[in-house]
Amino acid sequence: MPHRLLSTSLVLAMVGAGATVSTIATAAPVGRAKPHKAAVAHVSIGTVHGQYAFLPHKIVIRAGTTVIWTNRSNAFHTVTEANTKWTSAAFTTRKSYSHTFSKPGTYHYVCALHGYMTGIVVVTKK
């Protein structure tokens, strides 16, 4: 699918340029809780039962995958590793943050502005 290749290249180019907070022009599909073959996985930030949430709560990816969190809610959020080894700045509606996971492991993260917002990224071997 040429369109998908184009958008993936765009995202990778943006990541390569060091952009950590950026607007994604195309609609991001909601990620699924199984291994992704693509080099990019998506997590939306939305609202479930009146509370902000990372959707899906847990994703499983291969090492080397870049996860892109896109804020589809009406509030600022962060994506912050549970031990604050890495974090985004607070980013607002329609903005995104990306982080590349190079090592296998289980990574817990939270929103620093809403402590109840948690998520998990499981990184498997390549």
Stretch that binds Cu ion, among 12-20, 23-31, 60-68, 105-113 (CB under 5 A): 105-113
Using CB under 5 A as the binding rule, whether residue 42 contacts Cu ion is answered as no
**Which stretch in 14-22, 24-32, 48-56, 61-69 sits in contact with Cu ion by CB under 5 A?**
48-56
Q: β-pairing, 58-62 with 40-48?
A: unpaired
Interface with Cu ion (CB under 5 A), residue from 114, 118, 120, 122? 114
Closer CB to Cu ion, residue 117 or residue 123? 117
Within 67-96, which residues bind Cu ion (CB under 5 A)? 77
Are the C-beta atoms of 107 and 87 separated by less than 8 Å?
no
Length of the chain: 126
Q: How far is the CB of 113 from Cu ion (least distance, A)?
A: 4
Nearest one of 75, 81, 72, 71 to 118, comparing CA atoms: 81
Judged by CB under 5 A, which stretch of 26-34, 36-44, 46-54, 87-95 contacts Cu ion? Answer: 46-54
Asked whether position 113 contacts Cu ion by CB under 5 A, the answer is: yes
